[in-house]
Amino acid sequence: MIIVVGTAISLCSCENVKVDNGNLNSSVPVSENNANVDIGNSNSSVPVSENNTPSANNSTNKSYDFPQYFKFYESGYGMDTILVIDQNGNIIPKEKQFTVLYDILTGKPQCQYISKAEKTGEVNEFGGVTIKRTAALFDKDGNQISDYTDLNFSSGFGDLVLMRDGYGMEMSGQSDLPCGLWNYKTSKMVLEGVGNFQVYDAEKKQFIVSSLASQEGPEKIIGIVDETGTLISSPKGDMNYSLMNVVDGMILANTVTEYKDQSSAALVAKPEKTVVFSKDFEVLFEADRIWFGYNTLYGDYISVTNDNRSYICDYNFNICFEHAESENINYFDGEILIRFSRNSSTQESNMTLCDIKSNVLTTNFTEIRPIVDPNDNKTPAESFLAYDDKSIYILNRKGEVLKTKPLPNIEYCTYLGDGIISYRVNNIGEGMLDINLNTLVDHNKYTSVSFAYLEDGGKYETNYNVIKCTYNLPGNERIKRVELLDRSFKPIITGLSECYSTTKDFIAIKKGFSIGLIDYNGNWVHKYPIFSELKMEDSEWSVY
Amino acid sequence: MERVLNINIIMKIIIVFFSIIVFTACNTTQNTNNSDNPTSNAMQSEDNQGESSKIDGITAKNYPIVDGSTATMPLMAAAYSEIIGVPLEEAETFVEVSTTAPSWRNLLNYNVNLLIVYEAPETVKQEIKDSNVELEVTPLGRDGLVFLANTENKANNLTQDQIKDIYTGKITNWSSVGGNNEEIIPFQRDKESGSQTLFEKLLLKGTKPMDAPTELRPADMGALIDGVAYYDGSGGAIGYSVFYYAKEMYTKPNLKLLEVDGVAPSVETIGSGKYPLVNDFYVAIRKDEPADSPTRLLYNWLISKEGAELVKKTGYAPITK
């Protein structure tokens, strides 16, 4: 079949091509002959979650609390941004690209800011152009509520946002410029000196705040504040503490000793001990090193190293399990654990599933991983995923093999949650299995398989209803293809050059020389040529 | 060993006498072919495209790996579409380029089969000379170095000498060259950029331009066009690019292309050489390609009459003189 090329290369229009869906559906019939493609039958083939149900009658005028930005970038050249548009297809120039700040506790939008980068005309010591960055705060409706200054903003809580010199931090890791909790409704600084914070008690809306490291000294815990920024408690005495993290009401902090670095005459902070504080900053426990093993310790446990001994303690600081310092504990739930050791001379590694008395339940796997909800670090695993150089296995808590699937040369596998196991076979590709090791996505077909990004007002999250699969064109591996699968693992969109992000209404894609938004029926909603803003000459050499 | 790169030795001038059709190409991105459904059956075309094509010996499965310049991407897509018989938008998905200089290196290193590409920078030409790889390079079409100004600017024509004087700081006000009484803001490109190379090769010819402050030396071609279009809102800026990019790929409504020596840049004037600042672009393969290889077959087709027609049809200036 020869299809005569159109009479023109359609590249010169940089305008938004807003396609009328009615015309489109009638003028572009969906292929019914392609067994691989199930476009146009959205009711049966597209994601079924209420949160991501594609709308056959998608509304481009749907209202959102804050703009939905779709960013299109050129991979391979340092991710240069080609174009940013909103959900209505309006091109958003750099100076109007808002970043929404979300309440760290509720996840709801607080306000938004615009960050500007302007060339100063000066050349820095490395011969590069000096750029001055400034930012200003705006309310939900886009009304400016602060001047452009060299301070930056990040999410806070309640009516407070964190204001600090983010750009200075990028360069030096230290900042002497003012920072603090700033009330964006009253335009007043509530608590100066705050550079970081973490949620202490979500229910009571309490937060632990600390300063930024500066030339005056290291980062220090300031104390616990309520939602208004009022200090409730703070560390006692003269000792400085840098905040590590907060888990279950316990505050983990390093004691910090400052000394002058003779070579640079700068103040250097040296961690000494790790302490666990109560809410009133009473020291509950102290050791050489303490950490909460997120995604390692399942239940109320902490890892401790002290006096050259390593052990796992419960929240009452009773020793539950002691192990060699050189040995990693990859999983512990109070009853069973996964031990990982590597022979330092042969570099051979081994994973062993043990009980708490160190009785070996099973061993000789390349890797053993718990099958647990990635967002749950309390509930013990009911089963485990394991693989060696020949097969992949499901084990029970006794170490017995429940399921086996021959799968040579596995490079890695992991449980993604929601009944899906992701795996990669060395030099071939990636695939997905269900919990019974049935193939959902074949690794022979795709080089990479992952859930798509869910764009939500600047928050990039995981869209568990859309699976993004990538493969290289046979015979020309420079050409990448992307196709999207629904949760029944059927292709819903194929033949893409790239999929950047998704929402419940749109998919941001690149196909050939076009970028833009399509709906879940595969029809263009907003379409632009890639050359509209493309960074043309990022490589060493030029293009014409 | 004779260097095939030497254009004087290998150049096969293709003279095409077909009537020239001007393809404005604007606002045609929607509702053509199957282009409004981007998810049309690309996989099917990859998997099931027939073994036949417009050229015996070339199929979708053995189509050569083509590389080259960004500005030649539309021609690559048009060639694939024409030869394999797929819609243009689908053909576009088979086009990836590494840009001019890297693509020449890719050909030398056997990473790709064929280039549709602009002239290599001098340093890369030296690398080609120093290599043991012989290339066959044939001009396919022609592009021009064009000068851009804001549409508010009354000046429409500059001589080459006036442009030289502007860029050497001798002329600083548009009133001296037929424009408003307004300061001239001359944009330049990065010293290693292709546009700057053309600017120095075709226009300055050894004359040293004045130093440009960094804000008047954008890192990329699009930024230069933006800079000239919007600088200071005054309309006093001038900059340069290549014709196809400025005319077809990155247009701005408040920009115009200036005449040079009384000749407006166009497909016709660039193709004929009447426009004074022109340079060819090429198709290139390794000389050791067998006579019946898909790469050689594609090369032969591109330099044939049909290939020349495609160059015209795609909006590039053919070589007519």
Contact assignment for B71 to A493 by CB distance below 8 Å: no
What is the reported pLDDT for A330? 93
Of the candidates B34, B222, B251, the beta carbon closest to that of A533 is on B222
Integer CA distances (angstroms), A477 to A66, A361, B97, in order: 40, 44, 12
* Token pair 């002691």 in the structure block, residue: A322
Please report residues of A whose CB lies closer than 8 A to that of B87: 3
- A404 Cβ contact partners less than 8 Å away, ≥ 6 residues apart: A391, A392, A393, A394, A437
User: Is B38's CB within 8 Å of A518's CB?
Assistant: yes
Contact A36 B44 (CB under 8 A): yes
Q: Do B87 and A3 touch (CB under 8 A)?
A: yes
Contacts of A532 in chain B (CB under 8 A): 250
What is the C-alpha separation between A95 and A144, in angstroms, rounded?
Answer: 13
Task: Kindly list the distances between the CA atom of residue B9 and the CA atoms of B6, B13, B132, B298, in Å, as whole numbers in the listed order.
Answer: 6, 11, 18, 21
Q: What CA–CA distance (Å, rounded) separates B236 from B189?
A: 17
Strands B157-158 and B259-260: parallel
Q: What is the DSSP letter of A126?
A: T
Burial of A515 per CB tally in 10 Å (0-12, 13-18, 19+):
buried
CB A11 to CB B74 under 8 A? yes
The distance in angstroms from the start CA to the end CA of chain B is: 30
| Per-residue pLDDT at A266 | 55
Cβ separation of B37 and A28 shorter than 8 Å? yes
* Ordered per-residue pLDDT tens for chain A, 544 residues: 232 222 232 333 333 333 333 222 222 222 233 333 322 222 222 222 233 333 333 333 445 566 677 877 766 444 566 778 888 888 777 767 788 888 998 888 889 888 876 666 566 665 555 667 788 899 888 889 888 887 888 899 999 999 876 554 444 444 455 689 999 999 899 998 898 899 999 999 999 999 877 666 677 899 999 999 999 999 887 777 888 889 888 999 988 776 665 555 555 555 578 999 998 999 999 999 998 877 799 999 999 999 888 999 999 999 999 998 888 899 999 999 999 887 778 777 789 999 999 999 999 899 999 999 988 888 999 999 999 999 999 999 999 999 999 999 999 999 998 899 999 999 999 999 999 999 999 999 999 999 999 887 667 788 999 999 999 988 788 889 999 999 999 999 999 999 999 988 899 999 998 889 999 999 999 988 887 543 333 222 222 2
Contact A544 B194 (CB under 8 A): yes
A157 touches A229 (CB < 8 A): no
| B222:A543 CB<8 A | no
pLDDT value for A528: 85
What pLDDT score was predicted for residue A267? 55
pLDDT of residue A215: 64
Nearest-Cα distance to chain A for B99, in Å, is 6
Question: What is the distance between the alpha carbons of residues A500 and A73, in angstroms, rounded to a whole number?
Answer: 8
List, in order, residues 6 or more apart from A310 with CB less than 8 Å away.
Answer: A303, A304, A322, A323, A324, A325, A327
Tell me which chain A residues have a C-beta less than 8 angstroms from the C-beta of B115.
none
- Using an 8 Å CB-CB cutoff, list chain B residues near A13: 26-29, 251
User: Can you read off the two tokens belonging to residue A101?
Assistant: 């700040």
**Chain A residues closer than 8 Å to B44 by CB:** 31, 33-34, 36-37
By CB neighbour count within 10 A (0-12 exposed, 13-18 middle, 19+ buried), where does A517 fall? Answer: buried
Between B193, B221, B248, which is nearest A9 by CB?
A: B248
Mean pLDDT by 10-residue block, N- to C-terminus, for chain B (321 residues)? Answer: 38 31 29 43 45 84 91 94 93 89 93 93 88 95 91 92 92 91 82 72 84 58 61 72 82 84 94 93 96 96 95 89 55
Between residues 28 and 57 of chain A, which touch chain B (CB distance below 8 Å)? 28, 30-31, 33-34, 36-37, 39
A511: chain B residues, CB-CB within 8 Å: 38-39, 89, 92-93
**Chain A residues inside the 8 Å CB shell of B192:** 540-542
On the CB side of A238, CA atoms within 13 Å amount to: 2
Chain B contact for A126 (CB, 8 A cutoff): no
Look at A522 and B31 and tell me if their CB atoms are within 8 Å: no
8 A C-beta contact, residue A82 and residue A73: yes
Q: How many Cβ atoms sit within 10 Å of the Cβ of residue A225? A: 25
The CA distances from residue A380 to A334, A339, A374, in Å, are: 9, 16, 12
Rounded Cα–Cα distance for residues A206 and A203 (Å): 8
Query: How far is B106 from B98, CA to CA, in rounded Å?
Result: 9
**Contact partners, residue A332, CB within 8 Å, separation at least 6:** A293, A296, A297, A298, A299, A301, A312, A320, A321, A338
Return the CA Rg of chain B. 21
Distance between CA atoms of residues A423 and B2, nearest Å: 53
User: Residue A300 gets which letter from DSSP?
Assistant: S
Inter-chain touch A33–B44, beta carbons under 8 Å: yes
Residues 6 or more apart whose Cβ sits within 8 Å of residue A134? A115, A116, A118, A148, A149, A150
Question: Look-up: residue for tokens 């549709």?
Answer: B116
Residue of chain A whose Cα is closest to the Cα of B50: A1
Query: Which residues partner with A326 through β-bridges?
Result: none
Q: In the A/B pair of chains, how many CB contacts fall below 8 A? A: 264
- How many other C-beta atoms lie within 10 A of the C-beta of residue A4? 11
Q: Which residue of B has its CA nearest to A80?
A: B220
d(C-alpha B24, C-alpha A369), whole Å: 60
How confident is the model at residue A488, as a pLDDT? 94
Measured CA to CA, the distance from residue A530 to residue B156 in angstroms comes to: 30
Residue B11, CA distances (Å) to A307, B131, B297 in order: 79, 20, 18
> At which residue do the structure tokens 């005028």 appear?
A61
Query: What amino acid occupies position A230?
Result: T
Treating both helix axes as pointing N-terminal to C-terminal, what angle do B100-108 and B122-130 enclose, rounded to 10 degrees? 0
DSSP A238: S
Gap between the Cα atoms of A277 and A291, Å rounded: 13
Q: Please report the ipTM that was assigned to this predicted complex.
A: 0.74
d(CA B257, CA A45): 50
Q: How many C-beta atoms lie closer than 10 Å to residue A189's C-beta?
A: 17
Residue pair B217/B188 in contact by the 8 Å Cβ criterion? yes
Contacts of B78 in chain A (CB under 8 A): 5, 9
CA-CA distance, B286 to B290, in Å (whole number)? Answer: 10
**CB atoms A537 and B102 under 8 Å:** no
* Pairwise CA distance, residues A426 & A411, whole Å: 5
Task: Decide: A440 and A455 in contact? Cβ < 8 Å.
Answer: no
DSSP-based helix, strand, coil % in chain A, nearest 5 = 5, 50, 45
Cβ–Cβ under 8 Å, residues A507 and A517? yes
Residue A262 has what pLDDT? 56
Q: Which of B33, B35, B37, B314 to mutate to test the interface with A (most CBs of A within 10 A)?
A: B37
Q: Do B214 and A121 touch (CB under 8 A)?
A: yes
Answer yes or no: do B101 and A542 touch at CB < 8 A: yes
Angle at alpha carbon of residue A323, lines to A354 and A330, rounded to 5°: 55
B245 and B226 Cβ atoms separated by less than 8 Å: no
C-beta atoms of A7 and B78 within 8 A: no
Sort out which chain A residues have CB atoms less than 8 A from B27's CB and list them. 10, 12-13, 15
Alpha helices in B159-220, H assignment, sequence order:
160-167, 194-198
Distance CA A408, CA A220 (A): 51
Interchain proximity B71–A543, CB inside 8 Å: yes
The tokens describing A258, both together, are 């400052």
Is residue A542 within 8 angstroms of chain B, CB to CB? yes
The residues in A 457-516 lying below 8 A from B, measured between CB atoms, are: 473-476, 478-481, 483, 491, 493-497, 509, 511-514
Instruction: Report the alpha-carbon distance of residue B125 to residue B105 in Å, rounded.
Output: 10
Task: Give the separation between CA A160 and CA A139, rounded to whole angstroms.
Answer: 13
